[in-house]
Chain A
Amino acid sequence: MSPYEAILLTIITASTPLLLAAIGELVVERSGVLNLGIEGMMVMGAVCGFAAAHVTGSAWLGVLAATFAGIATSLLFGLLTQTLITNQVATGLAITLLGLGLSGLIGSGFVGLPGVKLANVSIPWLSDLPYVGRLIFGQDPLVYISIVLTVGVAYVLNNTRVGLIIRAVGQNHHSAHALGYRVVAVRYACIAFGGATSGLAGAYLSLVYTPQWIENMTAGRGWIALALVVFSTWLPERLAAGAYLFGGVWILGLYAQGMGIGIPSQLLSALPYIATILALVIISTNRRLSVINTPASLGQGFVPDR
């Protein structure tokens, strides 16, 4: 394997969990909900995925468990913010803290145990092609799932009635309600979708990236995913580009360190956030365009008038 191939492979591996978590959050935010609990949902997915895979021996059952763990955590967020109308920012932070703590508790018996790695796809002949074989036809299944999800979300949001309703609910929940749409139900569904993809992102970490359980193994990726959604101005295609950009910058930084080029690691881990701030500054010079995609009722709880 040539060095360039190795670099590209690691970039994809580093970017996929970001893309998975962010694409769900994008849908959640488009429906007008700000869920800051991605990190918590991810880490719950990671620990439950690892545990299920370790116990059953099946990586796919691990993936399934991780998805459901993410959904369950997100539904707790939904119950609090949509039914009980709590503050979304505070609740999201609480979910992150809860997820980090609870996952530590669940995972205490699994530390240091061998994990089950999700096998890479192997297509005879195609996967063995020089240069592009491993890269395009030999990834793990979650990479393909993340790409399918991104394309699917872009299509649904822009071209289908479901997407139109999600955007309408996120734009102006009072009008949507007046027209007879069930704002809270739509938001619950979006929150659950966000939970599912965050769970998948967690599974990616504990079943593919490093097939073992380490406490706090999400290491802030949930926050990067959150920044990514803003960075993309709520557009799925920009989100995908941003995810690979952030992943790329991170991996290149590691290689640079390995080759003795002195870049402080702190600067590297700050890069995604700096990039997001820069993106926000650039976006804000063209207010009109960014606001069209920005969900106008983002973060506001919905209480019907009557």
Chain B
Amino acid sequence: MLNKYNKNAQSTLLQVKSITKKFGEFYANDTINLSINAGRVHALLGENGAGKSTLVKMMYGALQPTSGTIHWQGNEVSIASPAHARDLGIGMVFQHFSLFEALTVVENISLALPPELRQGDLSHRIADLSQDYGLPLNPAALVADLSVGERQRIEIVRCLLQQPKLLIMDEPTAVLTPQEAQALFATLRRLVEEGCAVLYISHRLEEVKQICHDATILRHGKLVAEVDPQEETAATLAQLMVGASVHKVSRDNNDQVGDVLLELSNLYQNSSTPFGVDLVDVNLQVKSGEILAVAGIAGNGQGELFGVISGEECNPNQNAISLLGQAGDGLNINQRRCLGAAFVPEERMGHGAVEHLSLTDNILLSRHGCIDTHSPLDRGWLGIDKKQLAQLNQVIGADYDVRKSKEDAAAGSLSGGNLQKFVVGRELNRKPKVLVINQPTWGVDAGAAALIRQAVIDLSRQGSAILIISQDLDEIFELADTIAVMSRGQLSPIYAAGDLTREQIGLMMAGSHEQSDFNSNLDAGA
């Protein structure tokens, strides 16, 4: 099916010639060559920090190259700004959207368009174009009310209105359900049929095999391979990205399931933030030795669920939360930690760790309230045992392969993946009986993700109850013994991991389980 488009015009649209970008003495991009042809989807692959974003930012005019040239339709150009890139016909859909929540769809799009495109009935044009490409959007809707998938559509429609010749997409499916991703692929196929080129950045190798015609792989700022994704397997692509074969997470089947250590029963919780999601009648149980994964697209109440279990949000109803056999209501986060629970929030910077504090200070922050054998506060209330803290930091650094510039660096100086390893390591080091992790490997490269997942599995096999909140289905199938799906604040019943397929989870992510009647929907969709 892909070959049909391969026969399309092979004219080179954008060419990057031996481009280099230095930040100080660090080479983010080192003499990279790349050419993108019209009518093709070109994949750009690489781990975190491989230099993909830097390269793309130079193509979009957000950064200027240190040396090297960019050629657009055969002519050398210097792309001075994103506006200039848009004039040339380069559109970009960002990973983190730049939308205004309190404005409507049409207002958001209007703000981003050049004057000549704002004329006339913009709402009408948006509605037409979005229908035409199968990206349904209500122009009058408030962005705050839309799902992440719908928000992405706004960004895509905004690009399409400018009739781009090259569309750059940064991790577009990271926030989509499998079904939404398929709809996006259909749109992309149609675009390349019309002669548009797409530069597609993704971590998901199966997708790359599915829709991309060419692939360029970066590692440590250098180009390591240009391949035809159709002739590679996901494993060989991963190997090229990492430079070595990725450690496979291993888990034995688990028959050591014990008592229920974490239980929510008929939990209702009103969100404390204006655009948050209320939790409706959430029930779940996690047993000792078991990993329960809560799947779902970000922003469907997972943050609220994490907050209620960790004690950051107060829950008014009695007996809704039970931790290690005790009623969790009314306990604050430190009291819950003292019971033997540990929590890793989604945002590592600012929530999991304080940017400007050193790693030892950050260890102290989640340990100070609870004097146990692992506490650096053995000396009593006023004394901080700095020696023990430093030792602890060293142990965590070694056990979890935290790479840092100096032993007790500021948390903000660590890269995302290393900081995540540190934050997870800090909590796992206590050997908690109950562990709740929100998005354990979000934005973390393959090597670090494998390490974190293995550590989580090992902990569960030692008899801890673990609750994982994730939207990464690969991760969920790798880790989970049982799975439940959250959408719009409602949690589906819990299923054994082996009983569910990706498609079924995708349907539930889209809300098929809401308000009972779950099984009939599931049958219809499967």
Flag if B102 contacts A165 (CB, 8 Å): no
Tell me the bound Cα distance from A179 to B100 in angstroms: 11
User: Is the C-beta of A175 less than 8 angstroms from some C-beta in chain B?
Assistant: yes
| A205-227 CB contacts (< 8 Å) to partner B | none
Which of A161, A174, A296 is in CB contact (< 8 Å) with B102?
A296
Q: Is the CB of A168 within 8 A of B103?
A: yes
Query: With A292-B142, A292-B144 in contact, is A164–B101 under 8 Å at CB?
Result: no
Q: Which stretch in B26-34, B107-115, B499-507 binds the other chain?
A: B107-115
B99 within 8 A of A: yes
Interface positions, chain A 105-140, Cβ under 8 Å from B, are: none
* B109 CB → nearest A CB, Å: 11
A288 to B98, CA, bound (A): 21
**Cα–Cα, bound, A296→B99 (Å):** 13
Is there a chain A Cβ closer than 8 Å to B24's Cβ? no
Query: Would A292 and B102 count as touching, CB distance under 8 A?
Result: yes
Picked from A165, A174, A287, A294, the residue with its CB within 8 Å of the CB of B111 is: A165
A171 at the interface (CB under 8 A from B): yes
Q: Is the CB of B102 within 8 A of A171?
A: yes
**Which residues from chain A contact B274 at a C-beta distance below 8 Å?**
287-288, 291
Chain B's interface size range is 10 to 19
CB–CB B275/A179 < 8 A: no
Q: Are B101 and A171 in contact (CB under 8 A)?
A: yes
A86 within 8 A of B: no
Cα A171 to Cα B274 with chains together (Å): 14
Give the bracket for the number of chain A residues in contact with chain B. 20 to 34
Cα distance A174–B100 when bound, in Å? 10
How far, in angstroms, from A288 to B278 measured CA to CA in the complex?
13
Q: Which residues of B255-276 have CB atoms within 8 Å of chain A's CB atoms?
A: 274-275
Q: How near does chain A come to B58, taking the closest CB pair, in angstroms?
A: 13
Q: Which of B117-140 contact A (CB under 8 A)?
A: 118
Q: What's the least CB distance linking A99 to chain B, in Å?
A: 33
Q: Does B82 contact A (CB under 8 A)?
A: yes
Q: What CA separation (Å) do A287 and B276 show in the bound complex?
A: 11
- In the complex, the chain A residue whose C-beta lies closest to that of B273 is A287
- Quick check: is A300 within 8 A (CB to CB) of the other chain? no
Q: Quick one: CB contact mask for B80-103 with A, threshold 8 Å, 1 for yes?
A: 011100000000000000111111
A296 contacts which chain B residues (CB < 8 A)? 101-102
Q: Is the CB of B102 within 8 A of A179?
A: no
A296 to B81, CA, bound (A): 27
* Contact call A180/B83, Cβ cutoff below 8 A: yes
| B contact residues around A293 at 8 Å (CB) | 102
Bound form: Cα–Cα A265–B275 in Å: 42
Contact of B99 among A165, A175, A288 (CB under 8 A): A175
Residue A167 at the chain B interface, CB threshold 8 Å? yes
Q: At the interface, yes or no: A278 with Cβ under 8 Å from chain B?
A: no
**Least CB separation from B142: chain A residue:** A292
CA distance in complex: A119, B106 (Å): 47
* Interfacial chain A residues near B107, Cβ < 8 Å: 164, 168
Given A178-B98, A291-B274: A171 in contact with B111 (beta carbons within 8 A): no
Q: In the bound complex, what is the Cα–Cα distance between A176 and B107 (angstroms)? A: 12
Smallest CB–CB gap between A160 and chain B, Å?
11
Contact B82 A180 (CB under 8 A): yes
Scan A245-269; emit 1 where CB is below 8 A from any B CB, else 0.
0000000000000000000000000
A164-B107, A164-B110 in contact; A179/B101 too (CB < 8 A)? no
Q: Which residues of A contact B144 (CB under 8 A)?
A: 288, 292
CB distance from A140 to the nearest CB of B (A): 38
- Least CB distance, B269 to chain A, in whole angstroms: 15
In the complex, chain B residues whose CB is within 8 Å of the CB of A292:
102, 142, 144
List B contacts of A287 (CB < 8 A).
274
- Say yes or no: A168-B142 contact (C-beta < 8 A), given A179-B98, A288-B274: no
Chain A residues near B83: list those with CB within 8 A: 180
Assembled-state Cα–Cα distance A154/B515 (Å): 42
Asked whether, in the complex, the Cβ of B103 is within 8 Å of the Cβ of A179, the reply is: no
Q: Give the residue of B81, B111, B275 whose beta carbon is less than 8 angstroms from that of A164.
A: B111
Docked-complex contact B110 and A291, CB < 8 angstroms: no
* Binary B-proximity of A262-294 (CB < 8 A = 1, otherwise 0): 000000000000000000000000011001111
Residue on B with the closest CB to A295? B102
Contacts of B142 in A (CB 8 A): 292
In the complex, the chain A residue whose C-beta lies closest to that of B83 is: A180
- Chain B residue nearest to A171 in the complex (CB): B100
Q: How far is the CA of A176 from the CA of B101 in the complex (A)?
A: 12
Contact of B103 among A171, A181, A288 (CB under 8 A): A171
A161 and B111 alpha carbons, distance in the complex (Å): 8
Nearest Cβ in chain B — how far from A210, in angstroms?
41
Q: Cβ of B102: which chain A residues have Cβ within 8 Å of it?
A: 167, 171, 291-294, 296
Q: A168 touching B100 by the CB < 8 A rule?
A: yes
Q: Closest CB-CB distance, B170 to chain A, in whole Å?
A: 14
Nearest residue, chain A, Cβ from B271: A287
* A172 to B102 alpha-carbon distance, docked (Å): 10
Cβ-defined contact, B103 with A175, below 8 A: no
User: What's the nearest-Cβ distance from chain B to residue A12, in Å?
Assistant: 34
Closest to A165 in B: B111
Tell me whether A168 and B111 are in contact (CB under 8 A).
Answer: yes
Q: How far is the CB of A234 from chain B (nearest CB, A)?
A: 11
With CB as the reference atom, state the residue of chain B lying closest to A181.
B111
The docked-state distance in angstroms from the alpha carbon of A174 to that of B97 is: 11
What chain A residues lie within 8 Å of B118 (beta carbons)?
161
Interfacial residues of chain B within 192-238, with CB under 8 A of chain A in the complex: none
Query: Residues of A contacting B110 with CB < 8 Å?
Result: 161, 164
B: residues with CB less than 8 A from A are 81-83, 98-103, 107, 110-112, 118, 142, 144, 274-275
Q: 7 more A-B contacts (CB under 8 A) besides A178-B82, A288-B144?
A: A168-B100, A168-B103, A168-B107, A171-B100, A172-B98, A292-B142, A293-B102
Selected A-B contacts with CB under 8 Å, 22 pairs: A164-B103, A164-B110, A167-B100, A167-B103, A168-B100, A168-B107, A168-B111, A171-B101, A171-B103, A172-B99, A176-B100, A178-B98, A179-B98, A179-B111, A179-B112, A180-B81, A288-B144, A288-B275, A291-B274, A291-B275, A292-B102, A293-B102
List residues of chain A with CB under 8 Å of any chain B CB. Answer: 161, 164-165, 167-168, 171-172, 174-176, 178-181, 287-288, 291-294, 296
